[in-house]
Amino acid sequence: MGWPILQSLSKRYFQASWGLPLAAVARKFGSEYKSSEDITDCNQKSPPWNVMFFGTDDFSLKSLEMLHMEQQRGGLIKRLDVVSVALKKSLTAVQHYCQKEGLQVTDWPVTVPQRKYDVGIVASFGHLIPASVISAFPMGIVNVHGSLLPRWRGAAPVIHALLNQDQQTGITLMRIAPFRFDVGHVISKVVVPVEWNIKSRELTAQLAEMGAQELLSILPNLPQHLREACPQSSEGCYKSP
């Protein structure tokens, strides 16, 4: 199942779940979302972190593998639970990995208990995450996105970068905001030149590895990075169709 289909399913699920138009849901539940200034007890928190990870494909898997390695070695991760998407005829790459490694994996949608986890981490998930879920994490949810936001928000950013002959792309770590894809405050960016003959699979793998390493780099001082996150620029904004 491709990302445009998942994105469409996500929007339908989100609206049907509440029985309200998306704009009305935003008005009703927007107050539940924690802004950078509202992150609770940030100064008092330190690793190892209790994490819920949201992901599906090979891009997601690199970040999950890094988090799992940190948990296994007794490093920056204490608890690691995983959320993925149930497909009819196959398992996602993330589900395969969790089965092999004995990680707990739950199918989307989920209800997250308040304060059971410190932070959520999402990579290439394809579903809008509502404010009620985001607010369950004292430090919100961090997204590993495969473009230099605000360029190529939404699904398949690597494909759109190549189709439009972009000279550079990269990784953006950002804080998830509800109701729209990839509009939250930016934590950090890594710029990657796009080679003229590179294929989508190669570039995706390269960005997935860089995304995992950039995620690892912010975990030791995560509260500080979250506080210092900045709004996205209003210029150069392109949304994937």
What pLDDT score was predicted for residue 31? 41
pLDDT of residue 38: 59
Here the tokens at position 176 are 């998830």
> SS3 for 178?
coil
Distance CA 146, CA 155 (A): 10
pTM check: above 0.75: yes
Q: What is residue 21's predicted lDDT score, i.e. its pLDDT?
A: 46
* CATH fold label, 3-239: Rossmann fold (3.40.50)
Q: Can you tell me the distance from the alpha carbon of 173 to that of 75, in angstroms, rounded to the nearest whole number?
A: 21
Q: Which residue numbers in the chain have pLDDT < 70?
A: 1-43, 235-241
Element (H, E) at 216: helix 200-218
Under DSSP, is residue 173 helix (H, G, I), strand (E, B) or coil?
Answer: strand
Say how far apart CA 131 and CA 134 lie, in whole Å: 5
pLDDT at residue 235, as a whole number: 65
Amino acid 182: pLDDT: 92
**Number of Cβ atoms within 10 Å of the Cβ of 19:** 8
